[in-house]
Homo-oligomer: A and B are copies of this chain.
Amino acid sequence: MSEKPEMSEDPKPRRRQARGERRITQLLQAAANVFCANGYTAASTNAIAREAHVSPGTLYQYFPNKEAIAVELGERLMYEMREAHGQAFTPENLALPLPELLDAVVDPLIAFNCANPVFLALMHGSEVPGKIAEEHDALHASLIERVRLLIAHYLPDSPPADCVRVADMAFAVFKGGLHLVLAAPEGPERDATIAELKQVLLRYLDPVIGQGTLAAGTPAIAGGGVTTSRTP
């Protein structure tokens, strides 16, 4: 043993050239497009290779099988996502009023999903292989945990089961609204949908938190009175 200087990593420490790294990102980008358009199972490896303008043989030089493509893509997306929204849950945001807190948490998540629609396509389908589902469950659990901590911070005396239920429901509501946001065309209509989603979360969580401004006329972001301007 100890024949190679690099024996600390995987059993296959394949040396990659710069060209190879470029091919990998190129293939992952192509896979993202095909997954997004047709879903995981309907996406053929030949179609991914064609989208990347390479041969099937080249694809299989960098990925052992189709699942590995989705797993690697999922891992990179999760890394980006944790990085993008990680700062949203910093402790200093706990001091913010609820509307601003919602902005800080919701906006990065929506922006990420708008920029990477393949993420939902991979995480959401019931057709994905088990490995992706595990990744998704882990990410989901970590997000829920952050929301739960946030809620528990405002309700230290509540039973943990209640906090979990509120966190789960808030996140489920967000996911439902997220689909609506992504379905809306980019522009003012999407912005209005985002504002409406924040309204839902605000009205749901405000009585729970019980300290914010229950002002019916202080919308979160742009669009005063976006929601059904009640005529007096």
Q: Identify which of B163, B173, B197, B230 contacts A177 (C-beta below 8 A).
A: B173
Residue A51 at the chain B interface, CB threshold 8 Å: no
- Residue in B closest to A197 when the chains form the complex, CB atoms: B169
Query: Nearest Cβ distance between residue A28 and chain B, in whole angstroms?
Result: 20
Decide if B168 touches A180 in the complex (CB within 8 Å).
Answer: yes
List A residues 185-214 near B (Cβ within 8 Å).
192-193, 196-197, 199-200, 203-204, 207-208, 210
- Residue in B closest to A166 when the chains form the complex, CB atoms: B228
Q: Which residues of B contact A204 (CB under 8 A)?
A: 199-200, 203-204
User: Chain A's interface: helix, strand, loop or mixed, by majority?
Assistant: helix
**Known contacts A39-B127, A127-B127: does B177 contact A172 (CB below 8 Å)?**
yes
Query: Nearest Cβ distance between residue A110 and chain B, in whole angstroms?
Result: 13
Task: Tell me the number of copies of this protein.
Answer: 2
Query: Nearest Cβ distance between residue A128 and chain B, in whole angstroms?
Result: 10
A179 to B193, CA, bound (A): 21
Residue A174 at the chain B interface, CB threshold 8 Å: yes
List A residues 29-63 near B (Cβ within 8 Å).
38-39, 41-42
A128 to B79, CA, bound (A): 30
Residue A153 at the chain B interface, CB threshold 8 Å: no
Residue A155 at the chain B interface, CB threshold 8 Å: yes
Query: Nearest Cβ distance between residue A151 and chain B, in whole angstroms?
Result: 8
Decide if A230 touches B155 in the complex (CB within 8 Å).
Answer: yes
The 6 A-B pairs at the shortest CB distance, nearest first, are namely A176-B176, A172-B180, A172-B176, A203-B203, A162-B228, A39-B127
Interchain residue pairs with CB less than 8 A apart (20): A39-B125, A41-B127, A151-B228, A155-B228, A158-B228, A162-B227, A162-B228, A163-B228, A165-B193, A165-B226, A166-B196, A168-B180, A169-B177, A172-B177, A173-B173, A173-B176, A173-B177, A200-B200, A204-B204, A207-B230
